[in-house]
A and B are shown apart, each in its own frame.
Chain A
Amino acid sequence: MKVIGLILLGFLIVCAIATCLSKNLLTSVVIFMSYSLIMAIIWFLLQSPDLAITEAAVGAGVTSILFFVTFKKIGVMKGDEEEDE
C-alpha cells in the first residue's frame, strides 16, 4: 500500500510540473484533470473518502468543464484547431 502511495505521489509531482510546462492549454487542462483524479485516490488512501468524492466531482469534473467552456468562449480551442490543420 505504501508503494502505491509513493508511486501516486510521484505521478502527482509529474502532473503538476507538466501542467505548468505544456504549451497547449487544452493539454494543460487534461493533465490538471488527471492531477485531480490522482489527488482523489490519495485522499482515499489517507482514509478520507468524503474529500475523495468531492475532489473527483469538483476538481476533475466541474472545474475542467468550466475551463473548457471558457476556452471555447475566448476562442483558444479554435485557434489550436487552425494551427493543427
Chain B
Amino acid sequence: MSKVRKDYEQSKWHRFSQWLNGEMPVEYKSSPEWHLTDEELSKKYEEDMERAKTAQRKEARLYAKYRSWPEEKGVHIYERVYRILAVLICLAVIGSLLITVSYLPEFGNSDNPVNNEVSKRYIEQGIQETGAVNIVTGMILDYRAFDTFGESHVLFIAVSCVFIILRLGIGKEKNIEDEKAKEAENDRLLEPKNDKILQKAAFFLVPIIFIFGIYVILFGHLSPGGGFSGGAIIGAGLILYLDAYGFQKTERFFTLKTFRVVSLAGLLTYAAAKSYSFFTGANHIKSIIPLGIPGHILSSGLILVLNICVGAVVSCTMYAFYVLFRKGDF
C-alpha cells in the first residue's frame, strides 16, 4: 500500500480530483475560513452581517438623496435654466430677425429687386394676355396656374390627413359603431339645441353669406377675391348653418359622397386644364378659348372655370375640417 500523506486533503491533486468528480466546490475548500472553528465562524458571520447592514443603510441614504434631488433642487435649477434659456433664445431670434430686416431694401424704393421685368410684364400686358381685370387673379390662375394647382392639392392632402387621424372606423365591428354613436350623441348633448337667436340670425345671414361667396368666386377675375377667398366664405357660411340647425339638416345636402364628388370634380377639372406644365415645363400652350372682352363676366378664358374649381375644393375642405373636428365622421 502506498503511503497516504496526512496533508493529502490539502494537496492540490485531492482538490482537483474532488472538483473533477463534482463532490465539492473548490472555492469552499480554498476559502481561508475552512480551518476555523464553529465559534470563530459564527463570530465572523455576525461581523459580516453587521458590515452588510451598515453598507445597506449607507446605500439607502444615498439612494434617498438621489431620489429627492429632483424635487428638492432639480426642479428649481431646471426652472431657472429654462427661464434663462427661453429669454435668451427669444432675444436671439428677435435680434437676428431685426438684423435681417435692417439689410432689407427700403420699402417702396424703385431700385428694389422686386421691381424687375416680371412684375412690369404682369402690370403692363396682364390684361391683354390673360383678359382678367383683376391682375392678381390673372397672375395666380394664368401665369402661375401650376402653382395654384399645387396649392389646392395641398389643401386636399391636409383634409386627407385629418381624415386619417380623426375619422372613426366605419361600422365593421359593433363596438366601434357604438362608440361612434355615443360620441355623436355626446357632441349633440353639448350643443345648445334649437337656439332661437342663432337660428334666426342664421336664417337671414346664411343666404347672404352664400351669395357673397358665390359673387366673390364668379367675379374673381373682375373684382378683388377669387376661388380661395370665396370658397372660405362659403365654407364659413356652411359652418354657421350647421351650428344653427344641426347635422340632420346639413346631411340632406352635404354628405361624404358630396364631398368626394365635388372635391374630385374640382381637382380633376383643374388637372385637365393646367397639368400639362408637367410635360411642357414653363412653356405656355396657347388656349383655344377666346379671351373675350376684359370686364365682362364671360371673359378671360379658363380663369372663371378654375376659380369655380378652387372655390368648390376650398369650401368643401373648410366644411370637412369642421365636421371632422366635431363628429369624427360625416
A residues at B contact (CB < 8 Å): 48-50, 52-54, 57-58, 61-62, 65-66, 69-70, 72-73
Residue contact A62 to B235, C-beta cutoff 8 Å:
yes
Contact flag A66-B322 (CB < 8 Å), given A50-B225, A50-B226: yes
A-B contact count (CB 8 A): 47
Instruction: Please list 9 pairs of residues, one from A and one from B, whose beta carbons are closer than 8 Å in the complex, sorted by A's number.
Output: A50-B134, A50-B226, A50-B229, A53-B216, A53-B229, A54-B228, A58-B232, A62-B318, A72-B190
B residues at A contact (CB < 8 Å): 134, 136-137, 190, 216, 224-226, 228-229, 232-233, 235-236, 239, 318, 321-322, 325-326
Residue contact A69 to B326, C-beta cutoff 8 Å:
yes
Considering the chains assembled together, what is the distance between the CA atoms of A54 and B216 in angstroms?
11
CB neighbours of B322 from chain A (8 A)? 62, 65-66, 69
CB neighbours of B325 from chain A (8 A)? 66, 69-70, 73
Residue contact B239 to A65, C-beta cutoff 8 Å:
yes
Considering the chains assembled together, what is the distance between the CA atoms of A50 and B226 in angstroms?
7
Q: Give 20 new A-B contacts, CB below 8 A, not counting A62-B239, A62-B318.
A: A49-B224, A50-B136, A50-B225, A50-B229, A52-B224, A53-B224, A53-B229, A57-B232, A57-B233, A61-B232, A61-B239, A62-B232, A62-B321, A62-B322, A65-B236, A66-B321, A66-B322, A69-B326, A72-B190, A73-B325
Considering the chains assembled together, what is the distance between the CA atoms of A26 and B326 in angstroms?
18
Residue contact B326 to A62, C-beta cutoff 8 Å:
no
Of residues A48, A52, A58, which shows the largest number of chain B Cβ atoms within 10 Å of its Cβ?
A: A58
Identify B232's interface contact among A54, A72, A73, CB under 8 A: A54
User: Nearest chain-A residue to B183 (Cβ)?
Assistant: A73
Mostly helix, strand, loop or mixed at chain B's interface?
Answer: helix
User: Nearest chain-A residue to B231 (Cβ)?
Assistant: A57
User: Nearest chain-A residue to B328 (Cβ)?
Assistant: A73
CB neighbours of A62 from chain B (8 A)? 232, 235-236, 239, 318, 321-322
Q: In angstroms, how far is the closest chain A Cβ from the Cβ of B322?
A: 6
Considering the chains assembled together, what is the distance between the CA atoms of A78 and B100 in angstroms?
44
Q: In angstroms, how far is the closest chain B Cβ from the Cβ of A17?
A: 13
CB neighbours of A50 from chain B (8 A)? 134, 136-137, 224-226, 229
Residue contact B236 to A61, C-beta cutoff 8 Å:
yes
Q: In angstroms, how far is the closest chain B Cβ from the Cβ of A25?
A: 16
User: Nearest chain-A residue to B223 (Cβ)?
Assistant: A49
User: Nearest chain-A residue to B166 (Cβ)?
Assistant: A73
Q: In angstroms, how far is the closest chain A Cβ from the Cβ of B210?
A: 13
CB neighbours of B134 from chain A (8 A)? 50
CB neighbours of B232 from chain A (8 A)? 54, 57-58, 61-62
User: Nearest chain-A residue to B233 (Cβ)?
Assistant: A57
Considering the chains assembled together, what is the distance between the CA atoms of A73 and B200 in angstroms?
26
Q: Which 8 A-B pairs have the closest CB atoms?
A: A49-B224, A57-B232, A53-B229, A61-B236, A69-B325, A54-B229, A50-B224, A57-B233
Q: In angstroms, how far is the closest chain B Cβ from the Cβ of A58?
A: 5
User: Nearest chain-B residue to A49 (Cβ)?
Assistant: B224
Residue contact A53 to B225, C-beta cutoff 8 Å:
yes
User: Nearest chain-B residue to A78 (Cβ)?
Assistant: B190
Considering the chains assembled together, what is the distance between the CA atoms of A18 and B228 in angstroms?
30
Considering the chains assembled together, what is the distance between the CA atoms of A65 and B229 in angstroms?
17
User: Nearest chain-B residue to A73 (Cβ)?
Assistant: B325
User: Nearest chain-B residue to A77 (Cβ)?
Assistant: B190
Q: In angstroms, how far is the closest chain B Cβ from the Cβ of A19?
A: 15
